[in-house]
Amino acid sequence: MNAEASARAIDAVARTRAGTALAAEEIELLVADFVAGRIPDYQMSAWLATVACRGLSRAETVALTRAYVTGGDTLDFAATGRVVLDKHSTGGVGDTVSLIVAPLVAACGVAVAKMSGRGLGLTGGTIDKMESIRGLRLELGTDEVYRMVDQVGMVITGQSASLTPGDKATYALRDVTGTVDSLPLIAASIVSKKIAVGAHGVLFDVKTGAGALIPDQDRALELARLMVEVATGAGLRCRAVLTDMSQPLGYAVGNALEVREALDVLRGQEIPGLTELCRTIAALMLRSADPGLAPEEAERKVRGTLAGGEGYEQFLRWAAAQGAEPDALAEPGGLPIAECQEQVLADRDGYVHDVDPRAIGTAAMRVGAGRLVKGGPLDHSAGVVLRHQVGDQVSAGEPLAVIHHRDGVEPPVGLVRDAFRVSESPPSARPVVLQVI
């Protein structure tokens, strides 16, 4: 540790707490000090917590975004002569959209380069989910990223030490310091990765509702607009969608379980809510790559690609090229399977009126699908699979969900059962896409 750097960190915490804006150079130095190990975790955690309480100005958010990128490598796909897009979700319970959209868009002929992180909050992140696939390499060097885009049309990679070092250093801290849902921290983290990965355009999928990092719809809309503004300022082609996470998206919650569901969608299976959202996002990305493409034509292309299974074949090609074992996705037994499965039964007849996504996510975390502490291990086979969504009619004694867990882990049956509210009459339909920005 460094006494001078420590003093700067303490001053940054005090001034941010007082509402005094930091200069861009001060934010860049604070992040650089942490990356270099000149200040300890607890001082950076204090500043992150202060930001979560007090916020940052727009200029400070832009400065933090740039600071996360500074000192690391950045990719440049200009030499490929093709448009390369990225997509990012702010996350939510059962959010498998990235696993579906990346190969779907690539199968439609538009290259996708995606840098992803590990889980924050209740369930695993995209990298955690992908690690369910035996042999899949998710820490790629720059040359490998270019090769994957050139040869396969897509790449998904984790945050290496050479890309967005500032974001990588602070990312895990947010999970254990109560700063996950800070808008400036979310925006800076996400947009910095998009700048570093070198994509020409990006689609932001901003979740709102009880199962999202940002439950309040107004705040979620503010985040979407903030990310579009910051990313557009960096020269990226940007769109954002505001999507509903008032219930788990799809049926599966848990790492390997969500990979299986993503593959089902890519094979053409219609998963209520999930399939519709993936079609919408994929069509927007196609139109971003080709602004002259009519909305109807983009939608037709996406539907045809799903129906024909080309997205599934693209996923398999990508996984194999990135090192997955030949039988890693074979069924049965390719992906991890939990030792035990516990059914959760309905205790009355009626219609599913609500499914509390946070309760489902908490249940999945308790059986090992999410992290309780920084760097904690995951059980990739664990989680919860819903048998019913909002609006479905159910009978007493019928399974509402199935908990997947290891032997010796107590399944939280009561928590899952209480997540379902069953009423006598069906609820009103809820759109999954709330707004396009």
Residue type, 187: A
The answer to whether the bond into 215 is cis (omega within 30° of 0) is: no
Residues 133, 397: Cα–Cα separation, whole Å: 35
- Are the C-beta atoms of residues 14 and 26 closer than 8 Å to each other? no
Q: Which residue has the tokens 């984790």?
A: 158
Place of tokens 């992908």: 130
List the catalytic residues. 88, 167, 174, 189, 193
Q: Which residues contact 221 (CB under 8 A, 6 or more apart)?
A: 206, 208, 242, 435, 437
Single out the residue of 287, 303, 294 nearest to residue 85, CA to CA.
287
For residues 401 and 384, the answer to whether their CB atoms sit within 8 Å is yes
Residue type, 374: K
Query: Side-chain half-sphere of 279: how many Cα atoms within 13 Å?
Result: 23
SS3 assignment, position 157:
strand
d(C-alpha 220, C-alpha 90), whole Å: 9
